[in-house]
Structure 1
Amino acid sequence: MSKSIRFYYDLLSPTSRGLWLALKLGNKPIEYCPIALRKLEQLTDEYKKINRFQKVPAIVDGDFHLAETIAIIRYLADKGQLDEKLYPKSLEARARVDEFLEWQHLNIRLACSMFFRDAWLFPINGLAAKPKPERIQELIEGVETNLGLLELIWLEKDFLVGQQMTVADLVGASEINQLKIFHYKVDEKKFPKVAKWLDRVREATNPYHDEGLAFINMKAKQAKL
């Protein structure tokens, strides 16, 4: 009997969280191996043997090691580890999902990552001073430029690439939800489609959605104290 694929992740990482949701929804045998980024476990020699880039997420399937979220999604789909609805087999439907996954890197992911890094991650770890209000505003504007693109280009239907939720939605929503740690909330008046889409993703993925955000929400509450 073959061993389960091992999935290395940290739910603090939005890319890990999006893939974690896809695996939970797929309900296939997976060995979940948490890696605590806050404890720098990804930088250990032991983890370097798992992923030479020393990042999460990563998977190990027998002797095969793989990093990078999109590569992992494609591999797991071809191995039958993902629900076909989340990553379709149809060439055109899959291409639409891939289109968003490729687009989001330099758009919604970049903007949200910069916000998370500069407003929370670096200051809390003593790597940079708390940003000034004008810098925070610049970061928000970067995020909202991309929320506007989601509103205008990607959300013509209920989900990003049609009427059915896919991994594109899980990945995109995870990036935006990361900003909850800094108490950022999508403005429903400015971005009504985005706000409703996030609600649909949450409804479609719970209880895993809220479980995956538990650490983010805890840190957000601590920051308020």
Structure 2
Amino acid sequence: MSTRRLVEVHLDLLSQPCRAIHILLGCNGIPHTVRPVALRKGEHQTPDFTKLNPMQKVPVLEDNGFVLTESDAIMKYLCTRHNVPEHWYPRQTERRARVDEYTAWHHTNTRPHAAKVFLLEVLIPLRTGSAVDEERLFRALSELEDTLDRLESMFLRRQPFLCGDDVSVADLLAVCELMQPLGAGRDVLQRRPQLQRWRSRVQSAVGDAFDQAHAVLYALRDRRAAKL
């Protein structure tokens, strides 16, 4: 009798989408093996990894010979493939469409705008040794504020989570992006009580998996604070 292999996920937990997948796997108890890929060491550019994903990006999922890239596709695949509560990616057509609506919007709004703040405030100074470009950072923060306005007015409105009354993959993708600027000690939700309450609800819904996934980000924040 053949034995099914565990799902393998190639992740770097400093990557926001990787953390979302890590949380989904952890809080649902999906058996898996994590294959760490250190982006800062260029491990995503090795021949073996390039063969796995020619785009040289994480995350990547391997499931019994099936290889899948892109966080959105991976999370929806996991929800469909494994016995997870339906609220993560609903089967009912309209409810599923709401999740798809947010995740489509996410990739041109929440993701690039939060990531740009982290890029300008953390990654570029680390890689180049240069000071933060305050003018570019100001513009990036302004773009992110517009996105936060939209999250409140379009998606949360009168509901506790982005796509309804319970947590979904949309919330994981969004919250991991909005946590990313914390690597520089910046809480972009500091003056946003509605979004703070939403973040707390997401944390409560996933339990310890949230802090486990974000441990590397917290460590980066603490190291930077110790140098100031």
TM-score (norm 1): 0.93
2:23 to 13, 21, 27: 21
Structure 2: runs of 5 or more not aligned: none
Q: Decide whether aligned partners of structure 1 residues 68 and 30 sit closer, same or farther in structure 2, where only a CA change above 3 A counts.
A: same
Structural RMSD (CA): 1.5
Provide the secondary structure at the position in 1 that maps to 2:116.
Answer: helix
Aligned partners of 2:30, 2:111: CA distance in 1, in Å? 27
- Counterpart AA for 1:16: C
Number of aligned residue pairs: 223
Confirm whether residue 210 of structure 1 aligns to residue 216 of structure 2.
Answer: no
Aligned partners of 1:14, 1:165: CA distance in 2, in Å? 18
1:219 maps to: 220
1:135 maps to: 136
1:197 maps to: 198
Aligned partners of 2:131, 2:49: CA distance in 1, in Å? 31
Deviations 1:155-192 (A, max 9, x none): 12110011100110011000000110111113454x22
Percent identity (aligned): 31
Runs of 4 or more off by more than 6 Å in structure 1? none
Alignment of 1:25-174 (within 5 A): 25-80=27-82, 82-126=84-128, 129-156=130-157, 157-174=159-176
- Counterpart AA for 1:164: D
Aligned partners of 1:122, 1:186: CA distance in 2, in Å? 19
Aligned partners of 2:27, 2:37: CA distance in 1, in Å? 21
Provide the secondary structure at the position in 1 that maps to 2:33.
Answer: strand
Provide the secondary structure at the position in 1 that maps to 2:108.
Answer: coil
1:82 Cα deviation from its structure 2 partner: 4.2
- Counterpart AA for 2:210: H
- Counterpart AA for 2:150: L
Q: Decide whether aligned partners of structure 1 residues 182 and 55 sit closer, same or farther in structure 2, where only a CA change above 3 A counts.
A: same
Deviations 1:79-136 (A, max 9, x none): 126442211122221111111001011111110111111221122012x733332222
Aligned partners of 1:50, 1:34: CA distance in 2, in Å? 14
Structure 1: runs of 5 or more not aligned: none
Deviations 1:128-160 (A, max 9, x none): 733332222212111111111111111121100
Question: Is the contact made by 1:25 and 1:83 (CA closer than 8 Å) also made in structure 2?
Answer: no
Confirm whether residue 11 of structure 1 aligns to residue 6 of structure 2.
Answer: no
Provide the secondary structure at the position in 1 that maps to 2:72.
Answer: helix
1:41 Cα deviation from its structure 2 partner: 1.0
1:2 maps to: 4
User: Which range moves more in the overlay, 66-75 or 96-105?
Assistant: 66-75
- Higher helix proportion, which one? 2
Aligned partners of 1:174, 1:114: CA distance in 2, in Å? 14
Q: Decide whether aligned partners of structure 1 residues 163 and 100 sit closer, same or farther in structure 2, where only a CA change above 3 A counts.
A: same
Provide the secondary structure at the position in 2 that maps to 1:130.
Answer: coil
- Counterpart AA for 2:126: I
- Counterpart AA for 2:65: D
Q: Decide whether aligned partners of structure 1 residues 83 and 33 sit closer, same or farther in structure 2, where only a CA change above 3 A counts.
A: farther
